Amino acid sequence: MSLRTPLSRVRGHGSAKEGAHLWIAQRATAIALVPLGLFLVASVMATIGIPYEAARAYLAQPLVSISLVLFVIASLWHARIGLGEVVADYASSDRTRVLLLLLFNFLAFGLGAACLLAVLRIYFAG
């Protein structure tokens, strides 16, 4: 057992040389989500109260489909980083942290696959 403090052990080794990619991806997706989020709200407002076929026809427009696909990717990516940050800060044990990160990753990819398949189905059905 070492009596050295964790701080003294890492001192002098320089930075970890990696890790900034999540910080950058969080900002990049945030900037992308400004217009994409506005577009999502507009899409929801355009489809509330209209019949099923009309809502499908609205989403099947190429620009709408593309924007929604981009929103799904950017928002799930952003959420995955953000939730990971929350878990890293509050998880009380390594086991909880790993299990929650695994769960969030499965959810992000699972929801992403479901959303993308759904939007593409609507798009290709015309």
Partner 1 sequence: MSKHAAGRPLSPHLGVWRWSPTMASSIFHRVSGVGNSLGLLVLAWWFVALASGPEAYATFVAAASSAMGRFILFGFTVSLCFHFLNGIRHIVWDTGHGFDVSKSAAWSWFNFVGAIVLALIIWVLGYANLGAL
- Interface residues with partner 1 (CB under 8 A) are 6, 27, 30-31, 33-34, 37, 40-41, 44-46, 48-49, 52, 55-56, 59, 68, 72, 75-76, 79, 82-83, 86, 91-94, 97, 111, 114-115, 117-119, 121-122
Taking the complex as a whole, how short is the minimal distance between the CB of residue 119 and partner 1, in angstroms? 6
* Of 17 and 41, CB closest to partner 1: 41
Q: How far is the CB of 17 from partner 1 (least distance, A)?
A: 21
Best CA proximity match to 97, nearest among 83, 108, 107, 110 = 83
Q: How far is the CB of 69 from partner 1 (least distance, A)?
A: 10
Give the integer Cα–Cα distance in Å for 111 and 88: 22
Residue 11 burial by Cβ neighbours in a 10 Å radius (0-12, 13-18, 19+):
exposed
d(CA 104, CA 85): 11
- Whether the CB-CB separation of 123 and 88 falls below 8 Å is answered with no
Q: Tell the smallest beta-carbon distance from residue 61 to partner 1 (Å).
A: 13
